[in-house]
Structure 1
């Protein structure tokens, strides 16, 4: 019983660490998961090009998918999952959410129920696995929903409620410095001090002013998490929005192609990797 699925990365509009509400948008870079289910009695995982990486999250995704949706008469007690990714790990681009979504949907595909399970339910299964694995502070329903559904989403991560979702057509510039920053290690208490600002950002996002929302978010969280705001100043005022993505260290800028190309020129002078992409509105899909 085999399944295969791909899930996109995402950039941040609002980091949910401050007030529990979050917003993110899917971008065109993917993680692909291949799942093989069997009766071996154990679940094993492998992350391509990262043999020493922690695989607890993706193993848990398969376990939960089988426990929730396997036919009671089917002899399924184990399996194997392998992920391959274009998304840098621990860079603020939702690599964990993409891996979880791809693994969950690949598991559902292997079980033959991928078309029967609502995408929001599949997303919540991955969020549950992320909480079980301890890789997220907020539960990351904002990041996971953007990756699973595509487009931009606004959520309340305290209740895993989807507040808004719509497709967006943006060009995107991404700068990822050489260092890594794990979201589970972020100073949540320091971030909660900017909760009043985050509530303003949530209101902007719910009003459809995503670019303004992400820019305010970026300045607030760069200060809270100790990142320089210089990359944002290099992007303004030409782009529609620019922000620190997640808990960093990546920055993302969105807008018209010419504007984000100019941002890439500025950011390419910095250490790390700079690239251009677009938003993705299809979300996670089987392959």
Structure 2
């Protein structure tokens, strides 16, 4: 089996961390990961990450395996997958979800399988679930991260039940977004789940707010609760609160994301620029992942 495909998926920010209750919510950001898949039937899959020769490629390799097994089971799995990303790894901005989504879509393209809403096409949501399954197999996530993956794949703001890989709702929000990423990194699979479960009452409140469409308020409550649970400082969020519509620790950190109007976020950017790390002013996205 030979074929080549390319696809792109989005990074995302957090409304509700799913570690406490299994219910999560996330929104797509205008930062992209591109995957290129070349199938050759060699029986071996080799992964690579651009400019990171020592990166762990088990996730994207597993995405190729699962996708070929599901949609072309009689073919011998083999080939190469390479990702290039604007999303920093282990920064809470859903780099794994973006890589998985892009790889699954690129593999489907390499197989000649259509993605879309047609009767013979694979839906983006089903493609997303394949990436989530690969993430669990690769051990890069505790919850399966269906909330993060659905936002990355579909765009907009999603609310999910990660225990059932169920999409509860999806809405569109056009926000400007400010992202501060400190130098340190935090890996989702290493998060202290027991401490996160202690803030479950706050997580349930956040889920209620999100289900009412009050996403900006929800993310601020989430950020304070999970910063405390995971041991991250709340000062960046407090600096943003007088100006932003909402602000939260993203994922299991360490990045913090504020949303609102661009002019309102500028003083927050000035404050965050004084901190170690990088500050990026971007926007939300509503279009989601796509085959190139």
**1:31 to partner: Cα distance:** 0.5
Q: Distance in 2 between matches of 1:277 and 1:283?
A: 15
2:142: which partner in 1? 137
Q: TM-score, normalised by structure 1?
A: 0.98
1:23: which partner in 2? 25
1:50: which partner in 2? 52
1:84: which partner in 2? 84
1:100: which partner in 2? 100
- After the TM superposition, which residues 1-287 of structure 1 pair with which residues of structure 2 at under 5 Å, given as runs? 1-70=3-72, 72=74, 75-115=75-115, 116-287=121-292
Q: Distance in 2 between matches of 1:263 and 1:66?
A: 46
Q: Distance in 2 between matches of 1:87 and 1:41?
A: 30
What SS class does the counterpart of residue 147 from structure 2 fall into? helix
CA contact (8 A) 1:105 1:114 kept: no
What SS class does the counterpart of residue 275 from structure 2 fall into? coil
What SS class does the counterpart of residue 7 from structure 1 fall into? strand
Higher deviation after alignment, 106-115 or 250-259 = 106-115
Q: Distance in 2 between matches of 1:36 and 1:245?
A: 33
Q: Distance in 1 between matches of 2:198 and 2:244?
A: 28
Q: CA RMSD in A?
A: 0.8
Q: Deviations over 1:137-193 (max 9, x none)?
A: 000000000000000000000111100101110000000000000010000001000
What SS class does the counterpart of residue 282 from structure 1 fall into? coil
**1:71 to partner: Cα distance:** 6.4
What SS class does the counterpart of residue 243 from structure 1 fall into? strand
**1:77 to partner: Cα distance:** 2.5
* 5+ long unaligned stretches in structure 2: 116-120
Q: Distance in 1 between matches of 2:93 and 2:200?
A: 22
What SS class does the counterpart of residue 23 from structure 1 fall into? strand
Q: TM-score, normalised by structure 2?
A: 0.96
Q: Distance in 1 between matches of 2:279 and 2:243?
A: 18
What is the aligned residue count? 285
What SS class does the counterpart of residue 263 from structure 1 fall into? helix
Q: Distance in 2 between matches of 1:213 and 1:77?
A: 43
Q: Distance in 2 between matches of 1:97 and 1:260?
A: 27
